[in-house]
Structure 1
Amino acid sequence: MAHLPNNSAKLVARIRRLQGQLEAIVRSLENDAPCGDVLQLVASVRGAVNGLTIELIEEHVRNHVVDPEHEDDPEKAKGAADLIAVVRTYLK
């Protein structure tokens, strides 16, 4: 994602945390952890992936579609802001 050079270290760190969470699921399965514990770990990974997805989609909209904070057309700015809000709501 070439438009995120200032943010790439933050995104990579986030993905490395996800890798750690996935490794925790593997360890739990290998150690016959209770189903509830494994499911909780999976839910945590899902939430983290959704958060990453939200961030990437929002940055894409702002950089390649319309940045609501810098758009002169109020209708386009509102449309972009609404899209970002819907994506955030849908993926939470």
Structure 2
Amino acid sequence: MAHTIQGKKQLLTRVRRIKGQAEALERALAEKAECLAILQQIAAIRGAVNGLMSEVLEGHIREHLGATDLSQTQRDRDVDVVVTALRSYLK
């Protein structure tokens, strides 16, 4: 997963932002904040997670499926991995 190592700092920044958003949601729920504020926080977290997934998925596709030195068997395996991950994510 060389692509995640190369973008490690940026990915960790995204994860920390998501963590902060989740903590803000927890506080909002504990403090009985307005429903709209809670819904907005949930939507923000979802958007942040989607952005993280998109970035990691793109890196994986470019690094693994875009490689010119892959055999067809390896490419098929990598496609299966991506499809499985997407199915799991979209459930």
TM-score calculated relative to the size of structure 1: 0.69
Matched ranges for 1:70-81 at <5 A: none
Deviations 1:46-91 (A, max 9, x none): 0000000110110000000016xxx6xxxxxxxxxxxxxxx9xxx9
Task: Measure how far apart 1:9 and its partner are.
Answer: 1.1
Q: How does 1:2-21 map to 2 (within 5 A)?
A: 2-21=2-21
Q: Residue type of the partner of 1:54?
A: S
Q: How does 1:24-39 map to 2 (within 5 A)?
A: 24-39=24-39
Give yes or no for contact 2:18–2:45 (8 Å, CA) kept in 1.
Answer: yes
CA distance in structure 2 between the partners assigned to 1:56 and 1:18 by the alignment? 15
Q: List gaps (5 residues or longer) in structure 1.
A: 72-86
User: Offset at 1:3?
Assistant: 3.4
Which residue in 1 is equivalent to 2:44?
44
What TM-score, normalized by structure 2, do the two folds share?
Answer: 0.69
2-side partners of 1:12 and 1:53: how far apart? 13
CA distance in 1, matches of 2:30, 2:7: 35
TM-fit CA distance, 1:5: 1.7
Name the % identity.
44
Deviates more, 1:2-11 or 1:16-25: 2-11
Q: CA RMSD in A?
A: 1.9
Q: Which structure is higher in helix share?
A: 2
CA contact (8 A) 2:21 2:45 kept: yes
Deviations 1:29-48 (A, max 9, x none): 00000111100000000000
Does 1 or 2 have the higher relative contact order (CA < 8 Å, sep 6+)?
2
